[in-house]
Structure 1
């Protein structure tokens, strides 16, 4: 499932709980890991490769990251999916998060890669959110002093180290 616009912002604000910074109340780490491992297996199959993963995440609002290597994509560049600890949110980036704006991303990523990624995410019940809006200044309920960086963003709130 993909979400953007008003629905995206409503969901981000709904998930924002100042009492639970790194993961929501009741977060089931083992279930999240099984869900992520299933995603990686689907990517490996869909792209006929072995994707790189980063599963050793601590002190962060995201759970893990998987990279589809450039040589397995029609795009010819790495495709990175980062999975949040919140609301089954996932984000797709070209090469590295923050490297491209939405217009560049849309122009560079091959539609066949998008189709495969969308299908894999949908099968895992992830909600794909666009990356670019997440770089907007954070104006949620968590005090700005909690964030390590001087300019907190929605990206940091749900997809980065705190």
Structure 2
């Protein structure tokens, strides 16, 4: 999806009355899809992946950690999954460690082949990957997020604590 299409999707998913999860949130379906993502990444990388799920008081559902020793460049890959619209974010090492996967690849810490493996798994499992660079832009939606962050971003809205 283009940046314009992704921003339109973020605006469409944004409901100021539902900050932590969407109106028709299905925890069982989300858990099942997330489990499928974990299994897929473990198969693709040939290693067990640690994960966190059911994040409390957050619009983020959970995270999958592809271990550093399973990647080409020896850098852990973290995939964050939102409770909204199957949104996902891919990060080298941790969210915020690099300003997105482009920077991590340019600095040589993330291999493009590993990134492609993760992005392919996300797409084939119905997730929408949103670049960290876009998520870190200023939030321009209808929800009042000033209580949660001094400078709200799209990441705050769809992956942050509420």
Normalised TM-score (structure 1): 0.93
Give how far 1:101 is off.
1.6
Deviates most, 152-161 or 65-74: 152-161
Structure number with greater CO (CA < 8 Å, separation at least 6) is 1
Residue in structure 2 matched with residue 115 of structure 1 by the alignment: 116
Distance 1:9 1:93 in 2: 19
Quote the residue 1:93 is aligned against: 91
Cα offset, 1:104, TM superposition: 1.6
Query: Aligned-residue CA RMSD in angstroms?
Result: 1.3
Count of aligned residue pairs for this structure pair: 159
Q: Which runs of 4+ in 1 moved over 3 A?
A: none
- List runs of 5+ in structure 2 lacking aligned partners: none
Residue 75 of structure 1 is matched in structure 2 by: 73
Matches within 5 A, 1:47-62: 47-62=45-60
TM-score (norm. length: structure 2): 0.93
For the 8 Å contact 1:4–1:130, the answer to whether it is kept is no
Q: Which residues in structure 2 correspond to 1:1-162 (within 5 Å)?
A: 3-102=1-100, 103-107=102-106, 108=108, 109-145=110-146, 147-162=147-162
- After superposition, the C-alpha distances for 1:125-153 in whole angstroms (9 at most, x for unaligned) are 101110111111212100134x4222211
